[in-house]
Amino acid sequence: MSAPAAAVGRAHPRLEGRAKVTGTARYAVEHPADGLAYGWAVQATVAKGRIVRVDTTAAEREPGVLAVLTHETAPRLNPVESPELLLLQQPRVRYRGEIVALVVAESLEAAREGARLVRLDYDTEPHSSVLTERHPSLYKPDHVNPAFPTDTCVGDFDAGYEAAEVRLDQTYRTPAYHNNPMEPHAATAYWADGRLLVHDSSQGTNDVRSTLGRLFELPAETIRVTAEHVGGGFGSKGTPRCTPVLAAMAARQVGRPVRLALTRQQLFGPVGYRTPVIQRIRLGADADGRLAAICHDAISQSSTIEEFAEQTAVLTRTLYAAPHRRTTHRLARLDVPTPSWMRAPGECPGSFALESAMDELAVACGVDPVELRLRNDTEIDPEEGVPFSSRNLAACLRDGARRFGWADRDPAPGVRRDGRWLVGTGVASAIYPARTPGASAEAAAGPDGTYQVRINATDIGTGARTALWQIAVDALGVPGDRVAISIGDSDLPPAYVAGGSAGTAGWGLSVDRACRSLRRQLDERYAGTAPPDGLSVRVDTTDEAAGLPRAPRYAFGAHFVEARVDVDSGEIRVPRMLGVFATGRVVNPSTARSQLIGGMTMGLSMALHEEGLLDQRFGDWVNRDLATYHVTACADVQRIEAYWVPDEDRGNPLGVKGLGEIGIVGSAAAVANAVHHATGLRLRTLPIQLDKLVDRLPVG
């Protein structure tokens, strides 16, 4: 057999592409079952208090309603790590929108009407739901997510800052952001013969299975959770959510399979969101813009239910050189839903502040903002004092500047006009950790020359299924049509959740190892062909992953943006976004590009469109749907390009770094910096919208 052309590195359409364009790919509440019932969640209408009376009479009288679950009637759950998941167990309300009842009915219509008829009376207490710099609950958490030190300090920031020729001290604010995957959180659950089967819209079903096992006191083998196709997650489906738990409780209660999908409106809170963040950045530099001192203080929020400490300032520990440096995180505990993971947690909001501040420093020093970043580049991790595994930030900045046509840029802000439009350009850097978690995988050869690769990875739209298949095809050294891959099922060998941009690096390594081991055994013991009853190999890369070189390992990137602001109305348009990234080896250029421009676009959305508007009287967001919580639409995205530079890095044996999140890091700052260059107005609070510009623009 001649060696087939390498699959890794070549664009390949998604394996499930046909299923997705023909409408046959099944998502969480699309699996058929006999005797289905439907769930509908009921949310608390107060921000803080206690349910003192439950009246389900009218709901139960509604034709078709099978059961109403409340804290008085729901099956008891066994404690788990996240108190969020102890649903319907007690009468306290910790935030407005907390799920306090579930109606189960014959039809969606009856369930919805039943939910409307559930009557709950509350004893309310005063609530506090707005994050401020001086909130009385502010404290220093023991660590920030996932396990970083809360504060760090190198050198003497105060002295270094005092002595600096140029000093900058600014505060940046970002609102709450809601992940809003297009598929709302949803699950179908069935109990049969003491076993529980759940189809969940989840980024990782291993954790869902083990959590359900603990909640219902069941051995893990009796539970199966699948997530074959997932309609996006962006972090919000990265931890076990209320939906599989409620669906399983309801299914147990009525003795039938239950489908439960949250409504779009119900997603604004109960499934997590990105915390609002208040960030103070101080930069001290010499007149040429070389940083001497850098300090990043971040304040974010969590609920009273559990701690969630966004790692906002962590990127400032590694992005630029400076002898004196400090980062801190403080957290307020409010009567709000618990924030959670959202695409590039930490780096995304943190980069808006740091990269805006770097632009302000460039202006203050009269140094080109690309050049300023190059001057502060470092081969050594500035806190750890050791070299990076690879660092191609400078290559991204230079290549991006060349492609974008940055060289002739006039630095003066607010001076370029094209008809009614003020025109400007902006730049920002990006950084995101490159991790390689261990995973298990199985590769099997059949006597007919076909191969089966099995791993409980999840493809939430990233292209993971296809990338892993490409890795497998190369490792097996056979034509692609002989290789099939199975993912998205907790019965498969366990693997890490789809998160942290670590899938291709971690799952990929495991798939590669399983396939290579199988190939070797076939070649050494069976002359290359599987025996009559097949041959199967299972590997676990936990030890190999733990033993990889410990050098600081990151992906890097640079964003270039053109912004136009209407001189009369303040309307903002972004005709061009260009990103260049150093993300190690790219397995599938086609899906990689989609991931990168998807992240960049979400950054555009953050810069211009998204804002959770909280009404403190109710302690809840008022814009809780897609008509009022705006996300970037087709007409908002004009020319958008993503490229990558060569980035050799064997810190992962496959050379992969991951790229699901880096596209959003720095993207919003680049837009804000371009708006400044266009108008001369510095917007330090997102989103940037015309009402913040219109009164301050030069008279047209």
Partner 1 sequence: MVRTSPRADLPEPPYRSPVRLSVNGRPHELDLDNRTTLLDALREHLGLIGAKKGCDHGQCGSCTVLLDGRRVKSCLAFAVAADGADLVSVEGLAEDGHLHPLQSCFVQHDAFQCGYCTSGQLCSALGMLDELRQGWPSVVTPDLAAGPDGLTEPEIRERMSGNICRCAAYPHIVSAIREAAAAEGVR
Q: From the CB of residue 491, how many other CB atoms can be counted at a distance below 10 Å?
A: 15
**Contact criterion met (CB below 8 Å) for 429 and 376:** no
Nearer to partner 1, 382 or 499 (CB): 499
Of the candidates 232, 244, 276, 284, which one interacts with ligand FES according to CB under 6 A?
A: 232
Residue 260 binding target from ligand FES, partner 1, none, CB below 5 to 8 Å by type: none
Nearer to ligand FES, 2 or 22 (CB): 22
Nearer to partner 1, 24 or 124 (CB): 24
The nearest distance, CB 233 to ligand FES, in angstroms, is 10
Of the candidates 86, 321, 551, 626, which one interacts with partner 1 according to CB under 8 A?
A: 626
Of the candidates 461, 500, 619, 658, which one interacts with partner 1 according to CB under 8 A?
A: 461
Residue 24 interacting with partner 1 (CB under 8 A):
yes
Residue 33 interacting with partner 1 (CB under 8 A):
no
Going by DSSP bridges, is the β-strand pair 440-445/421-433 parallel, antiparallel, or unpaired?
A: unpaired
Residue 22 interacting with partner 1 (CB under 8 A):
yes
Q: From the CB of residue 572, how many other CB atoms can be counted at a distance below 10 Å?
A: 26
Count of residues binding ligand FES (CB under 6 A)? 3
Residue 182 interacting with ligand FES (CB under 6 A):
yes
**Contact criterion met (CB below 8 Å) for 235 and 184:** no
The nearest distance, CB 5 to partner 1, in angstroms, is 19
Of the candidates 61, 402, 520, 550, which one interacts with partner 1 according to CB under 8 A?
A: 61
Of the candidates 7, 8, 27, 454, which one interacts with partner 1 according to CB under 8 A?
A: 27
Residue 462 interacting with partner 1 (CB under 8 A):
yes
Residue 63 interacting with partner 1 (CB under 8 A):
yes
For CA atoms 410, 413, 417, 418, give the dihedral sign: positive
Of the candidates 45, 73, 82, 107, which one interacts with partner 1 according to CB under 8 A?
A: 107
Residue 106 binding target from ligand FES, partner 1, none, CB below 5 to 8 Å by type: partner 1
Q: Is residue 312 classed as helix, strand or coil in its secondary structure?
A: helix
Residue 385 binding target from partner 1, ligand FES, none, CB below 5 to 8 Å by type: none
Residue 244 binding target from partner 1, ligand FES, none, CB below 5 to 8 Å by type: none
Nearer to partner 1, 5 or 182 (CB): 182
Residue 449 binding target from ligand FES, partner 1, none, CB below 5 to 8 Å by type: none
| Radius of gyration (C-alpha) of the chain in whole angstroms | 26
Residues comprising the chain, all counted: 700
Residue 598 binding target from ligand FES, partner 1, none, CB below 5 to 8 Å by type: partner 1
Residues 269-308, mask of contacts with partner 1 (x by CB under 8 A): ----------------------------------------
Q: How far apart are CA 203 and CA 313, in angstroms?
A: 26
Q: Is residue 588 classed as helix, strand or coil in its secondary structure?
A: coil
The nearest distance, CB 681 to partner 1, in angstroms, is 27
Positions of E strands within 262-376: 277-285, 291-303, 324-334
Number of residue whose CB is nearest ligand FES: 182
Of the candidates 44, 46, 65, 578, which one interacts with partner 1 according to CB under 8 A?
A: 65
**Contact criterion met (CB below 8 Å) for 121 and 245:** no
**Distance set, CA 380 to CA 32, 50, 314, 347 (Å):** 55, 54, 16, 19
Question: DSSP character for 215?
Answer: H
Q: From the CB of residue 547, how many other CB atoms can be counted at a distance below 10 Å?
A: 10
Crossing angle of helices 503-526 and 464-476, in 10° steps, is: 30
Residue 25 interacting with partner 1 (CB under 8 A):
yes
Residue 21 interacting with ligand FES (CB under 6 A):
no
Identify any residues that bridge with 620 across adjacent strands, giving them in sequence order.
615
Question: HEC profile for 454-508?
Answer: ECCCCCCCCCHHHHHHHHHHHHHCCCHHHEEEECCECCCCCCCCCCCCCHHHHHH
- Indicate if 81 belongs to the active site: no
Element (H, E) at 668: helix 667-679
Residue 660 interacting with ligand FES (CB under 6 A):
no
Residues numbered 575-614 forming contacts with partner 1, rule: CB under 8 A:
590-591, 593-595, 597-598, 601-602, 605
**Contact criterion met (CB below 8 Å) for 403 and 576:** no
Nearer to partner 1, 278 or 342 (CB): 342
Q: From the CB of residue 95, how many other CB atoms can be counted at a distance below 10 Å?
A: 24
**Contact criterion met (CB below 8 Å) for 278 and 328:** no
Q: How far apart are CA 27 and CA 226, in angstroms?
A: 10
Residues numbered 424-463 forming contacts with ligand FES, rule: CB under 6 A:
461
Residues numbered 478-537 forming contacts with ligand FES, rule: CB under 6 A:
none
Q: How far apart are CA 347 and CA 316, in angstroms?
A: 9
For the chain, the distance separating the N- and C-terminal CA atoms, rounded to the nearest angstrom, is: 71
**Contact criterion met (CB below 8 Å) for 508 and 587:** yes
Q: How far apart are CA 500 and CA 434, in angstroms?
A: 8
Residue 21 binding target from ligand FES, partner 1, none, CB below 5 to 8 Å by type: partner 1
Active-site amino acid positions: 661
Positions in the binding site for partner 1 (CB under 8 A): 13-14, 16-27, 30, 32, 35, 61, 63-66, 106-110, 113, 180-184, 229-232, 234, 256, 261, 263-264, 460-463, 590-591, 593-595, 597-598, 601-602, 605, 625-627, 631-640
Positions in the binding site for ligand FES (CB under 6 A): 182, 232, 461
